[in-house]
Amino acid sequence: MRIALVNDLPLAVEAVRRVLLGSSEHELAWVAYDGVEAVARCAQDTPDLILMDLLMPDMDGVEATRRIMANSPCAILIVTADVSDNSSKVFEAMGAGALDAVNTPVLEFPDASKSARALLGKIDTIERLLGNGNVTRSSARFQETATNSQTPDCLIAIGASAGGPAALATILGALPSSFPAPLVIVQHVDGQFAQGLATWLDHQTPLQVVLAQDGMRPQAGSVFLAGGDNHLVLNQNGRLAHTRHPLNCGYRPSIDVFFESIDRFWRGDLIGVLLTGMGRDGAAGLRRLRMHGYHTLAQDQATSAVYGMPKAAAELAAASEILSLTKIGPRLAALADQKHRVYA
C-alpha cells in the first residue's frame, strides 16, 4: 500500500519510516508535519492509508481527519504516543472517520521490534478490510437448534466502524431510560480501548452500557458492546459468547458474524442497524436479516462519516429504511415500543 505519514515530531517520523521501509509490501507516499499540510497533500495525492498523529500544532489529527474524510477520503489509522492516555481524542477521531488507533513505534531496543509488529499488524488488518469484498460466513460450530428459555423480546443489533463512536452516542442519547429492548453493538475498535469506549458511551445515554461478556443474556435497558479480539456471537442458548472463527475476517469482531448468529439463535423479533464505516462488513448480514422478515435500518450518505458499509447495504437492498443519523434513535424507540406492545 501507498502510505502517508502525518506527524510533527522528527523522531516519530523516523521511527514510522523505518517500520514502513522494512516492509516490502508498503511504500511511503509522503510526509506532512501538521494537519494543515496533511489536508492539502491528501487533496493533491490521496494515498491508500494515512498514519495520523493526534496532537499537532495549527490543526490536530481529529480536525485533519474530519477534513480529509469530507474532501478526499481514504483510510486513516491514528498513530499516537499513548492511545490509552488520549482515548477521548481517539474516539473523536474515530467519530470523524478514522478506522483504528495504535501507539507510535519507538526506535529503542528491545521495544522497537514489538512496537513495529503492532503497527504493521494494524496496517495489515486495514489492508484486508479495504480489499475484502467477500461475504463473511460464520463457523459451523453452532448447532441449528435453540432452547425455549429465550423470551420473545425484540433485540436491537447495531454495527458500526469508522465514524461509529459519535454516531452511536447520537443514537443512544436519543433513547429513553424506559427503552424496552436490549441493544448489542459491534463497533470495529481495538480491544485495548473497548472498555474506554463503553465508559464513554455510558455517559451519553440513560441506558447502561457494558462490555459484552461470555454468558450474558441481552436484557432490556442495557447496551452490550463487543470488546476484545474475537468475534461476538449469540449462542444456541440465547447468550452472548466469543469465538475465534471464522479466522479470515478483515475485522474482529465482525458485524456479519454477529448478525448471522442472531438470525440463527434469537427467538424473538430483531431490528438490525448498520451505521457509518469503511468496507462492507455487516451489509450481507443485514440483508440476511431483512430476507428473513426482520426490520433493518441503514444510515444515509449525507450523515455518514464514511459511506462504505451503509452504501454496501443499500446496494444489496438490505435496509428496510435508509435514515439520517438523527432519525435513527427516534425510529428505534418507536419500533421497539410497537413491538413491545405486541409481545405484551
| pLDDT tens by residue, 104-113 | 998 876 677 8
pLDDT of residue 133: 40
Residue 35 has pLDDT above 50, yes or no: yes
Catalytic residue among 138, 161, 254, 304: 161
Residue 117 has pLDDT above 80, yes or no: yes
Quickly state the pLDDT bin for 142 (edges 50, 70, 90): very low
Catalytic residue among 53, 256, 263, 281: 281
For the segment 62-74, the average pLDDT, to the nearest whole number, is 94
Q: Which has the closest alpha carbon to 298: 111, 157, 154, 103?
A: 157
Average pLDDT, the chain: 89
- Rounded percentage of the chain residues whose pLDDT exceeds 70: 91
DSSP per residue over 196-250, as a string? Answer: HHHHHHHTTSSSEEEE--TT----TTEEEE--SSSEEEE-TTS-EEEE--SS--S
- All structural domains of the chain with their residue ranges: 2-131, 154-343
> pTM for the whole thing?
0.81
Quickly state the pLDDT bin for 342 (edges 50, 70, 90): low
For the segment 157-165, the average pLDDT, to the nearest whole number, is 95
pLDDT of residue 50: 97
Catalytic residue among 100, 153, 188, 190: 188
The domain 2-131 belongs to what CATH superfamily?
Answer: Response regulator (3.40.50.2300)
Mark residue 276 as left, alpha or beta (left: phi above 0; alpha: psi -120 to 50; beta: remaining): beta
pLDDT of residue 150: 43
Q: Do domains 2-131 and 154-343 have the same CATH topology?
A: yes
Residue 337 has pLDDT above 70, yes or no: yes
- Which position has the higher pLDDT, 142 or 184? 184
| pLDDT tens by residue, 183-242 | 999 999 887 778 889 999 999 999 999 999 999 999 998 999 998 789 999 999 999 999
Is 48 one of the annotated active-site residues of the chain? no
CATH class of the 154-343 domain in this structure: alpha beta
Is 281 one of the annotated active-site residues of the chain? yes
